[in-house]
């Protein structure tokens, strides 16, 4: 029978709590009154004890916010009997060993493994980092979802791995016990061993075996608590409080906790920060030394001068590394031009509603620039080419990469065979890929293999920039904001909506004449959009 453990009432006006941390894992055996979790409200941190003995089944995860009275976990009480049976068997085995010391080792192994649960076959399966996409040579271990020594089942997700383009999950390739080789944040090459699995047969471990291990842990922990006068909570900071203290550089030993049994709460950490700030102000005041000195005006340092550090994501570290390598390994130059956006803006204004009504997508600038670049790339194939060792690779198609800002950083999904797509198909692909990028659901295939890139800094207000080439490509076009500027037209000054465009290119494969001519061709196609429809 399973007993549901609900969030208890912890105080007046408190309707919900946050799970700060689980002190026991899902499937662990817990003793009655043993502390299994730490919960936080907006006023204090408190501990959650087990109401009965049994196997824990976690329902709400760490950092989840749950209402008072909601089910937070279940405890299977039937695990008691299985534990007692397993202990009885263990004692019987000890007696048998004492009576017959001459028994061979092989027979002892068989007797110890005769119970229910998985049996090791002796085979060890090595798991290597799989090939995850073109040009990706290494990945970073983002997190292990299983611990070393855990039993895993075939196709169960055991880790999350990051490349410079995406995060993907790593499934177990066999049933057995996990042996972790590469640790979290390690960067390893494709094909390298990431972990090993000791192959086992007979299904997942029984509750009795897991309860034996967990009960021994709980016994040792309870003994340590009985030895000391202070409880686990004394002088211990809650996760939220510990984070604040760490960010502010305050030692927890210098903070007095006001929570249960001396626990340091979030409020204690915030107050400690204020107190330390006051003490630092007092220390900064000059003492009276009896010597008159000239009072000089000091800079105002009374404002907020806090700092915080955040760990760089693997994606951002890899992108930074690649961008620096591009700057160092290519002969990169940038050429500029200006485009009168008036004709395109008139077309959008005139047909925007009809276009959206027919195709269910908006008519944006990206489709015009994509079509203009695909036509210009056919005329100047070197701009669409790549260097591969001592060879130049020319592509008869255009896989257009579109730079997109996502919560995890800059990603560059690819529109395949953009030269064959119509305006509405281009707009549809841009919307689809941008949405997947924001949701973090882009696949490796959707971000590899581009031949040319367009990036639009204008949506953030950029007037001019020198974009960095997206290796191994040889060129990238930068769009910018549209600003009304005075222009000389047939001897007259007229106000025109102007966009500056920039083409960064690798001078090793693209000559100056080709780069300038390419950008001029894009300018001509954009300023006379009928050319895009006619392909001239």
Q: Is 511 designated active site?
A: yes
Are 452 and 467 spatial neighbours (Cβ–Cβ below 8 Å)?
A: no
Q: Residue 455 and residue 457: Cα distance in Å, rounded?
A: 6
Are 501 and 376 spatial neighbours (Cβ–Cβ below 8 Å)?
A: no
Instruction: Report phi then psi at 81, rounded to 5.
Output: -65, -40
- 354-358-360 Cα angle (round to 5): 105
Q: Residue 336 and residue 52: Cα distance in Å, rounded?
A: 73
Question: Which is the catalytic residue, given 28, 506, 511, 528?
Answer: 511
Are 382 and 514 spatial neighbours (Cβ–Cβ below 8 Å)?
A: yes
Burial 215-245 (b: 16+ CB within 10 A, else e): beebeeeeeeeeeeeeebbebbbbbbbbebb
Indicate left, alpha or beta for 185 from its phi (over 0: left) and psi (-120 to 50: alpha).
left
Are 33 and 221 spatial neighbours (Cβ–Cβ below 8 Å)?
A: no
Q: Residue 207 and residue 151: Cα distance in Å, rounded?
A: 13
Q: What DSSP state is assigned to residue 23?
A: S
Q: Residue 498 and residue 480: Cα distance in Å, rounded?
A: 10
Q: Is 125 designated active site?
A: no
Are 471 and 324 spatial neighbours (Cβ–Cβ below 8 Å)?
A: no
Cα 98 from chain centroid (whole Å): 55
Owner of token pair 């709590």? 17
Tokens coding 43: 């006023």
Are 52 and 32 spatial neighbours (Cβ–Cβ below 8 Å)?
A: yes
Question: Which is the catalytic residue, given 33, 78, 185, 507?
Answer: 507
Tokens coding 27: 């499937």
Tokens coding 176: 């057995």
Q: What DSSP state is assigned to residue 448?
A: S
Beta carbons within 10 angstroms of residue 408's beta carbon: 17
Are 466 and 504 spatial neighbours (Cβ–Cβ below 8 Å)?
A: yes
| End-to-end Cα spacing for the chain | 78
Show the 3-state SS of 372-387. HHHHHHHHCHHHHCEE
Specify burial of residue 139 (Cβ count, 10 A radius: 0-12, 13-18, 19+).
buried
Q: Residue 477 and residue 402: Cα distance in Å, rounded?
A: 10
Q: What DSSP state is assigned to residue 182?
A: S
What residues are annotated to the active site? 507, 511
């Amino acid at each position: 029978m399973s007993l549901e453990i609900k969030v208890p009432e912890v105080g007046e006006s408190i309707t919900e709590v946050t799970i700060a941390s689980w002190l026991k894992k899902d499937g662990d055996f817990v003793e009655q009154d043993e502390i299994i979790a730490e919960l936080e409200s907006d006023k204090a941190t408190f501990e959650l004890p087990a109401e009965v003995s049994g196997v824990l089944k976690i329902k709400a995860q760490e950092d989840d916010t749950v209402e008072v009275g909601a089910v937070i976990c279940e405890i299977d009480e039937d695990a008691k009997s299985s534990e007692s049976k397993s202990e009885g068997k263990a004692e019987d085995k000890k007696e048998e060993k004492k009576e017959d010391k001459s028994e061979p080792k092989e027979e002892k192994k068989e007797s110890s493994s005769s119970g229910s649960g998985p049996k090791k076959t002796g085979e060890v399966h090595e798991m290597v980092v799989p090939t995850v996409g073109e040009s990706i040579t290494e990945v970073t271990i983002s997190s292990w979802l299983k611990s070393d020594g855990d039993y895993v089942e075939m196709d169960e997700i055991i880790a999350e791995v990051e490349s410079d383009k995406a995060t993907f999950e790593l499934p177990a390739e066999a049933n057995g016990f996990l042996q972790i080789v590469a640790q979290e944040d390690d960067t390893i090459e494709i094909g390298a061993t990431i972990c090993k699995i000791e192959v086992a047969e007979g299904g997942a471990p029984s509750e009795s075996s897991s309860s034996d291990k967990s009960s021994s842990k709980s016994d040792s922990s309870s003994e340590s608590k009985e030895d000391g006068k202070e409880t686990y909570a004394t002088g211990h900071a809650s996760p939220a409080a510990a984070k604040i203290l760490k960010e502010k550089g305050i030692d927890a030993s210098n903070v007095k906790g006001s929570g249960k049994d001396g626990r340091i709460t979030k409020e204690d950490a915030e107050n400690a920060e204020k107190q330390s700030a006051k003490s630092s102000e007092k220390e900064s005041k000059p003492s009276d030394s009896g010597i008159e000195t000239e009072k000089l005006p000091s800079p105002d340092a009374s404002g907020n001068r806090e700092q915080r550090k955040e760990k760089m994501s693997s994606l951002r570290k890899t992108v930074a590394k690649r961008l620096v390598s591009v700057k160092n390994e290519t002969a990169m130059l940038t050429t500029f031009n200006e485009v009168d956006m008036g004709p395109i803006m008139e077309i959008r204004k005139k047909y925007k509603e009809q276009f959206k009504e027919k195709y269910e997508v908006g008519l944006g600038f990206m489709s015009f620039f994509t079509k203009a670049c695909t036509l210009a790339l056919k005329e100047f194939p070197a701009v669409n080419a790549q260097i591969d060792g001592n060879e130049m690779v020319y592509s008869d198609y255009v896989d257009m990469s579109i730079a997109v800002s996502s919560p995890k950083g800059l990603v560059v999904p690819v529109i395949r065979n953009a030269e064959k797509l119509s305006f509405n198909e281009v707009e549809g692909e841009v919307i689809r890929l941008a949405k997947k990028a924001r949701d973090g659901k882009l696949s490796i295939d959707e971000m590899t293999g581009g031949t040319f890139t367009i990036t639009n800094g204008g949506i953030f207000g950029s007037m001019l920039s020198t974009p960095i080439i997206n290796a191994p490509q040889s060129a990238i076009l930068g769009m910018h904001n549209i600003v009304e500027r005075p222009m000389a037209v047939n001897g007259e000054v007229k106000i025109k909506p102007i966009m500056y465009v920039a083409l960064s290119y690798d001078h090793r494969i693209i000559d100056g004449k080709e780069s300038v001519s390419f950008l001029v061709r894009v300018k001509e196609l954009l300023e006379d959009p009928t050319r895009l429809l006619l392909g001239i």
